[in-house]
Amino acid sequence: MSVSSTSIQPRAGSLPPLGAPGLAALAVLILGTLALGAAYGTAHGALFLVGGALGISLYHAAFGFTSAWRVFIAEGRGRGLRVQMILLALTVILFFPFLSSGTLFGHEVSGFVSPAGSGVIVGAFMFGVGMQLGGGCASGTLFTAGGGNARMLVTLFFFIVGSVLATVHFDWWASLPALPPMSLTALGPVAGIFVSLAIFGAIAAITILVEKKRNGALEQPPEAPRHGLARYLRGPWPLVAGAVALALLNFATLSLAGRPWGITSAFALWGAKGAQLIGIDPTAWAYWQAPGNARALAESVFADVTSIMDFGIIAGAMLAAALAGKFAPSLDIPLRSILAAVVGGLLLGYGARIAYGCNIGAYFSGIASGSLHGYLWAVAAFAGNILGVKLRPWFFLERSAIRRMDG
């Protein structure tokens, strides 16, 4: 997605000045890592820094899911989807041996494996519609907001509202019929990887067939405006480089946190803490009575791993935008676009919670964990994206070719 800003064009080959936003982001990343490490342990501080690296990678690679799915649905172009399959393949290869053994570098690790039932289907479908109306997914909302997109702050606010609303009804959704948690890692690492790669290869092959049928030839990556070290410092990165970075950083998250990368559980936590500030008691809801959730609600938000990684993503994206010379927020947002952000944010938040995750926690990390619910999530979310693409003309002036792979 394009950032709602006016790009600052530095001289060719020069490094643009970071300015106040870039320097602030850099200071937050350095000081935050040190402070969190001192207060909660080295791994906690390192995870904040991993979040920063994720924000830089997402922004510089413009790597995401929303426009990749939209371009395939609307135009039959599948380059973005094929890169997603590379991302999943790399992560599965990294994850499965350690998830099967249950240990990594001497520490216990586990994947995101959840029941696959009605909540996943309905929630992922809602999330898919919300992706297209909100203009991004969970990772996309964070990195574009951090990069200076003011509209995405609206999406993020209502993403949080929708998340906490879903916790009110979470126990009802969880009570609906569902298959028990199942993972391909139960087949063993080699067989599990083989089955996963076969699925990813089949999806990539389908995108090639569709793209050639609708467009005659496969789309080629655009020519890079800069090369060498300058390209990786200032962007834009090749999409495949973004995929490699995200796979490695998710593996780093697994090794430091003992579980994969997630995003949206923090949004529910922020919303619940906000509810407490205005006199609403979320502890009456079953979701916040579960031991882990109750502990997170009682502690500081900075003790929550997902929250501090989300903060890191925002800071990292702000730093990347400053390095690219593109941090220049604009509040000139059309009313229809704001309405889409409100509706999309609510759908994203509510859908992610009842579906046990978003495009990161359920799709990326869920499938990387071999979870059946991750595959079910992907199918239902893709269906939701089809409806979302059909609804977009009511809210946006569409352009025929959208190439930026936003969240």
Over range 175-192, report the average pLDDT: 96
Whether residue 255 is contained in a domain is answered as yes
**Type of residue found at 226:** R
Contact 16, 8 (CB under 8 A): yes
For residue 3, pLDDT over 80 is answered with no
Backbone angles phi and psi of 314, in degrees to 5: -60, -45
| CA angle (249 as vertex; 321, 318 as ends), nearest 5 | 15
pTM: 0.90
Q: What is the mean pLDDT of residues 181-186?
A: 96
Q: How far is CA 280 from CA 134, 141, 270, 359, in A?
A: 27, 26, 13, 29
Average pLDDT score over the chain: 90
CB 306 within 8 A of CB 257: no
Average pLDDT value for residue range 88-101: 97
Residue 237: per-residue pLDDT: 92
Residue-wise pLDDT for 325-384, tens only, equals: 887 777 778 888 899 999 999 999 999 999 999 999 999 999 999 999 999 999 999 999
Provide the residue range defining the domain that includes 216. Answer: 20-394
5 pLDDT above the threshold of 60: no
Output the six-digit token pair for 294. Answer: 């109750």
Task: Give which of 110, 32, 39 is closest to 309, Cα–Cα.
Answer: 32
CB-count burial class (<10 Å; 0-12, 13-18, 19+) for 126: buried
| Percent of the chain whose pLDDT exceeds 90 | 75
CA angle 65, 402, 343 (to 5 degrees): 60
| pLDDT confidence of residue 22 | 86
Provide the pLDDT confidence category of residue 16 given band limits of 50, 70 and 90.
low
CA-nearest of 23, 73, 47, 99 to 366 is 99
5 occurs within a structural domain: no
The Cα 130–Cα 154 span in angstroms is 13
Rounded to 5°, angle at Cα 149 from 143 and 155: 80
Neighbours of 79 (CB within 10 A): 20
pLDDT exceeds 70 at position 305: yes
The 10 Å CB-count burial string (b at 16+, else e) for 292-311 is ebeebbeeebeebbbbbbbb
195-214 residue pLDDT tens = 999 999 999 999 999 999 99
* Any domain includes 6: no
For residue 15, is it within any domain?
Answer: no
The reported pLDDT for the residue numbered 324 is 83
Q: What gap in Å lies between CA 333 and CA 135, rounded to an integer?
A: 13
Mean pLDDT, rounded, for 100-108: 93
CB 152, CB 145: distance < 8 Å: yes
Output the CA torsion sign for 356, 63, 388, 82.
Answer: negative
**Cα–Cα distance between 260 and 94 in angstroms, integer?**
12
Q: What is the pLDDT of residue 6?
A: 35
The per-residue pLDDT for 396 is 73
Q: Determine the Cα–Cα distance for residues 262 and 137; give it in Å rounded to an integer.
A: 12
Give the pLDDT confidence of 64-74 residue by residue, as tens digits: 788 899 999 99
Domain count, the chain: 1
